[in-house]
């Protein structure tokens, strides 16, 4: 893995630099019209109080703010309004893992038990789980901890009795617990808290001054609202595994993160290398490839309605058989994306590095995830293909 990684970083950077847009780029005015015509009706239809949309269109940044951060009509969403981003957190966690791999602290093929303090070593099945497997949803670990689990120790104790429903690394199934365990492992590797790792390795280098974890003081946070419009708070169980979905961020910060995901100039070199490592495929399913945190699709199979037309017409990867592939740079125009969903918030990030184009949507209301993804992809499709 280490040998492959060194060779492939150089190849990917060269490839990305060579790929350029083949058609006329939408003007900022046309892009604004596109966002307002596609996304605004979706927000209105779902009675979303407020939203942020930030994007890069062939390297040109734009930002759009809709509605209010609370039901107070004067508390308008702006560049500094902070939203919970849910499982988009998993991309941040994956970048932290890739960074540790890039600097030589871990190998992605290493078993998690090599580093994880108080790991359930008596469980033979757990021995087979690798770091890459945790970041790729093939560990076999479950979706969420039981509501009775209050902390890391209790979760580790529960895993002594865990048995995978399928052979480890043979089946893709979404796992919040897997990313929670990955976060614990990274803490033990770095001897830092998850919050400190985020701050030192991502937030500070990218100047993301609004970002942090749920549960810390926040004076510019949007209020999340349920399906019936009632104010809600984060699921407490999720706070046990913060690396799975506990980051909150603003539009201006997520624009910086998106720029790094696209590999735009100004991204710190070590961080850029870590992002590229997350964007290689590690496992293949019938619905698409899985990177570290990111789902990976051929952009040419994205249709104007926002769906991926591959072997199956699909929105995202579903529970299905998976097999390991050699991580290497992908040729062509590739779409990397990730959804996020927690109580009262929805989020989505999509990046097409080959065209320096991407989009992030943050909303402070429960609404169908499908509508968030499709709206963002429709805009992305027009920006890339214009």
pLDDT, tens digit (0-9, with 9 covering 90-100), for 186-216: 999 999 999 999 999 999 999 999 999 998 8
Parallel/antiparallel/unpaired status of strands 60-67 and 320-324: unpaired
d(CA 377, CA 372): 9
| Cα radius of gyration rounded to whole Å, the chain | 20
Q: 221-246 burial by CB neighbour count: b if 16+ within 10 A, else e?
A: bbbbbeeeeeebebbebbbbbbbbbb
Tell me the H-state helices in the chain.
2-18, 28-45, 89-102, 131-134, 152-158, 176-190, 194-198, 204-206, 251-261, 269-278, 369-385
- Token readout for 380 is 């992305």
Low-confidence ranges of the chain (pLDDT < 50): 2-22
Q: What CA–CA distance (Å, rounded) separates 321 from 237?
A: 28
pLDDT at 211: 98
**Cβ count near 317 (within 10 Å):** 22
pLDDT, tens digit, 9 for 90 and up, residues 242-274: 999 999 999 999 999 999 999 999 999 999 999
3 state DSSP class of 233: coil
Which CATH superfamily groups domain 2-96+194-385? Answer: DD-peptidase/beta-lactamase superfamily (3.40.710.10)
CA separation for the pair 103, 245 (Å, rounded)? 25
pLDDT for 177: 97
Write down the residue that tokens 């592939």 correspond to. Answer: 325
- Per-residue model confidence (pLDDT) at position 266: 96
Spell out the residues 6+ positions from residue 44 whose beta carbon is closer than 8 angstroms to its own: none
What pLDDT score does 76 carry? 97
Domain ranges of the chain: 2-96+194-385
* pLDDT at res. 23: 54
Select from 131, 128, 197, 113 the least CA-distant residue to 168. Answer: 128
Rounded CA-CA distance 273/386 in Å is: 29
Check residue 249 and give its pLDDT: 98
CA 93/CA 85 separation, integer angstroms: 13
Question: Which DSSP string corresponds to 77-146?
Answer: --TT-EEE-GGGHHHHHHHHHHHHHHTTS--TTSBGGGT-TT--TT-TTGGG-BHHHHTTT-S---SS--
Q: What is the dihedral of CA 30, 34, 37, 40, to 10 degrees?
A: -120
The rounded percent of the chain whose pLDDT value lies above 90 is 83
Asked if 241 contacts 176 with a C-beta cutoff of 8 angstroms, the reply is: yes
Backbone phi, psi, residue 334, to 5°: -115, 140
Query: What are 149-189's pLDDT values in tens digits?
Result: 999 999 999 999 999 999 999 999 999 999 999 999 999 99
Q: Give the pLDDT score at 311.
A: 65
Distance (Å) of CA 378 to CA 169, 219, 250, 384 = 33, 33, 23, 10
Structure token digits, residue 12: 């990917």
pLDDT of res. 305: 93
pLDDT in the model for residue 310: 67
DSSP letters along 258-298, please? HHHHTT-TTS-HHHHHHHHHHTS--EEETTEEE-SS-EEEE
């Amino acid at each position: 893995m280490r040998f492959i990684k060194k060779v492939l970083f150089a190849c990917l950077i060269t490839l990305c630099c060579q790929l350029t847009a083949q058609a006329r780029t939408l003007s900022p005015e046309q892009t604004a019209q596109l966002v307002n015509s596609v996304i605004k009706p979706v927000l209105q239809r779902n009675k979303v109080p407020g939203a942020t949309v930030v994007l890069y269109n062939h390297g040109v940044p734009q930002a759009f703010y809709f509605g209010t951060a609370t039901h107070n009509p004067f508390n308008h969403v702006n560049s500094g309004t902070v939203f919970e981003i849910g499982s988009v957190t998993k991309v941040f966690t994956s970048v932290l893992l890739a960074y540790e791999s890039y600097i030589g602290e871990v190998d992605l093929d290493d078993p998690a038990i090599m580093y994880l303090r108080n790991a359930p070593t008596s469980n033979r099945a757990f021995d087979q789980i690798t770091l890459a497997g945790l970041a790729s949803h093939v560990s076999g670990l479950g979706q969420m901890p039981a509501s009775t689990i209050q902390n890391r120790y209790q979760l580790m104790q529960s895993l002594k009795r865990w048995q995978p429903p399928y052979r480890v690394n043979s089946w893709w199934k979404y796992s919040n617990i897997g990313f929670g365990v990955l976060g614990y492992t990274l803490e033990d590797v770095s001897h830092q808290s998850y919050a400190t790792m985020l701050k030192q390795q991502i937030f500070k280098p990218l100047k993301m001054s609004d970002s942090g974890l749920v549960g810390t003081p926040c004076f510019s946070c949007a209020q999340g609202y349920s399906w019936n419009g009632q104010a809600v708070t984060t699921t407490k169980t999720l706070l046990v595994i913060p690396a799975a979905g506990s980051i909150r961020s603003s539009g201006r910060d997520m624009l910086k993160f998106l720029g790094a995901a696209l590999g735009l100039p100004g991204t710190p070199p070590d961080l850029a290398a870590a992002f590229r490592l997350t964007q290689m495929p590690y496992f293949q399913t019938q619905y698409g490839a899985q990177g570290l945190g990111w789902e990976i699709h051929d952009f040419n199979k994205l249709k104007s309605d926002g769906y991926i037309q591959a072997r199956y017409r699909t929105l995202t990867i579903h529970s299905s058989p998976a097999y390991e592939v050699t991580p290497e740079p992908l040729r062509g125009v590739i779409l990397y994306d990730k959804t996020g969903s927690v109580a009262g918030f929805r989020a989505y990030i999509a990046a097409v590095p080959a065209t320096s184009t991407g989009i992030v949507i943050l909303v402070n209301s429960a609404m169908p995830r499908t509508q968030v993804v499709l709206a963002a992809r429709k805009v992305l499709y027009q920006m890339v293909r214009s």
